[in-house]
Amino acid sequence: MKLALSRTQIGSLFALCSAFLFSTKAIFIKQAYALSAQVDGTVLMALRMASALPFFIIIAWLNRHHNGHATGKDWALLVLAGLIGYYFSSWLDFTGLMYISASLERIILFLYPTMTVLASSVIYKQKLNAKSLFAICLSYGGTVLVMLQEHSNTPTQSNLWLGISLVFAAAIAFACYLLLTPRLIQKFGSWNFTGLALSVACIGTLIHFSLATSHPIELITQLPASVLWYGLALGFFVTVVPTILIMQSIERLGASQSAMIASIGPILTILLAVSFLGEYMTPLQWLGCILNIIGVMMITLSKKKLEH
């Protein structure tokens, strides 16, 4: 008997697989940090982006026919978007993970949809309705609850608040990237824009690494092979593959529906962190996580209604 999946089912499956792969990011990063004292956010980012760059160049090349309608200003904005969204934001995130748990990192990073809503309301001078304000309060209240619990559970942990600040800044940077994308996607096309923006981010990361490291090639050759494998996994399985999957999902379901399915990401990261990193979530932290997810889902649903 032949099993045929509908367009919606395939899109949902792609979104779920993408969410799972993205949720492994913090796990791989924390495990790589534990393997060598030479590994920091800059080194691991360089390994990730070096392994991802060829694939994004291919994606951009295969979809290059969309470039004809873009102006010089559009190209400048594309470079800015790539550097903000997948270079600067990712570097802040990777560095922040040196100081905080994978579970907390994922919950903080998940706030970015609320940040785009807040920024849009300021930019376009639109008042937020009561439902949106309530959703934002739920998200941030839940996140603060998780942060305070982590602080009370590990009062001697150094640089906890530094890590929290770095990841929060990463979420802000990614929200800025999302505000730039709608116009650029119209100009370049979604696939071409993704390939170009991520190629820019990869190149920016590698330039940063070469400038920040006195002997970059020598450092890479001294790293344990297992760290190099983690870098390759972060580049291919946690960056290239889930990016392609979520693009395929959006084409079938739309951005809002794909985002709703992807909201399972924080739960998956926490479960993986408990299983592979030995992290522990208290009942109050689980409550905070659930409040965060409910708030973000409410924001996503309200955005979906606006789109229609």
Q: Where are the domains of the chain?
A: 10-307
Comparing 48 with 260, the larger pLDDT belongs to: 48
| pLDDT of res. 2 | 53
| pLDDT of res. 207 | 96
| pLDDT of res. 41 | 94
**Contact residues for 303 (Cβ-Cβ < 8 A; gap 6+):** 113, 117, 256
pTM score of the predicted model: 0.92
Which whole number is the average pLDDT over 125-140? 89
CA 214 from chain centre, in angstroms, equals: 29
CB-facing half-sphere around the CA of 49: CA atoms within 13 A: 29
- Model confidence at 306, pLDDT cuts 50, 70, 90, reads very low
Whether the predicted pLDDT of 64 surpasses 90: no
| pLDDT of res. 308 | 44
Whether the predicted pLDDT of 177 surpasses 90: yes
Locate 3 and state its tokens. Answer: 């099993």
Residue 48's nearest CA partner among 193, 198, 178, 171 is 198
The CB density around residue 130, as the number of other CB atoms within 10 Å, is 7
C-alpha triplet 90, 111, 86: angle, nearest 5°: 20
Whether the predicted pLDDT of 1 surpasses 50: no
Give 82-111 pLDDT, tens digit per residue.
999 999 999 999 999 999 999 999 999 999
Whether the predicted pLDDT of 168 surpasses 50: yes
- Model confidence at 70, pLDDT cuts 50, 70, 90, reads confident
Measured CA to CA, the distance from residue 271 to residue 27 in angstroms comes to 10
Least confident of 120-129, 131-140, 150-159: 150-159
Give 222-268 pLDDT, tens digit per residue.
999 999 999 999 999 999 999 999 999 988 888 778 888 888 999 99
Q: What is the overall mean pLDDT for the chain?
A: 90
Measured CA to CA, the distance from residue 143 to residue 157 in angstroms comes to 19
Which whole number is the average pLDDT over 155-163? 80
Measured CA to CA, the distance from residue 214 to residue 48 in angstroms comes to 19
| pLDDT of res. 155 | 63
Measured CA to CA, the distance from residue 291 to residue 297 in angstroms comes to 10
- Model confidence at 62, pLDDT cuts 50, 70, 90, reads very high
